[in-house]
């Protein structure tokens, strides 16, 4: 079956602009995660959705970052007033229920470059 998909695969934007990154999880997975990964580092947790609600948004770095999942499937990560330091690979993952030890299935990521 289809895995997690993310669009766009690459995004180049200018400092100060607004960007939206989309994640399409595996069908039926209620848990959805957003991570940010910089070169040579592990993924950094941003936000976790259980269904339509953000169950844990403690990883969002500041109020420029926001994410939604209005129908409990597709999610959009929104970044306002982008800064050069936002440049990274943004990864999305989903799991069946968000339970302990569940495998998280990752998408290929969106490579964001802020000039």
Partner 1 sequence: GQSLEQPSEVTAVEGAIVQINCTYQTSGFYGLSWYQQHDGGAPTFLSYNALDGLEETGRFSSFLSRSDSYGYLLLQELQMKDSASYFCAAMDSNYQLIWGAGTKLIIKP
- Chain residues 82-111 in contact with partner 1, contact rule CB under 8 A: 91, 93, 98-101, 103-109
Question: CA 47, CA 59: separation in Å to the nearest integer?
Answer: 6
> Within 10 A of 111 (CB to CB), how many other CB atoms are there?
16
Among 40, 53, 62, 70, binds partner 1 (CB under 8 A): 40
Task: Look at residues 28, 47, 18 and name the one whose alpha carbon lies nearest to residue 112.
Answer: 18
Residues 27 and 105: beta-carbon distance below 8 Å: no
For 8, the token pair is: 């766009």
25 near partner 1 (CB under 8 A): no
Distance of closest approach, residue 64 Cβ to partner 1, in angstroms: 21
The residue among 14 and 53 lying less far from partner 1, judged by its C-beta, is: 53
Q: Is residue 44 within the footprint of partner 1 (CB under 8 A)?
A: yes
Residues lying near partner 1 in the complex (CB under 8 A) are found at: 4, 40-45, 48, 56, 58-59, 91, 93, 98-101, 103-109
């Amino acid at each position: 079956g289809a895995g997690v998909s993310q669009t766009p695969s690459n995004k180049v934007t200018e400092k100060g602009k607004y960007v939206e990154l989309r994640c399409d999880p595996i069908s039926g997975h209620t848990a959805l995660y957003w991570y940010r990964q910089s070169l040579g580092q592990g993924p950094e947790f941003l936000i976790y959705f259980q269904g339509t609600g953000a169950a844990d948004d403690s990883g969002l770095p500041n109020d420029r970052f926001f994410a939604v999942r209005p129908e409990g499937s597709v999610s959009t990560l929104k970044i306002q007033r982008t800064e050069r330091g936002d440049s990274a690979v943004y990864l999305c993952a989903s799991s069946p229920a968000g339970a302990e030890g569940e495998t998280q299935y990752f998408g290929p990521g969106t490579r964001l470059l802020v000039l």
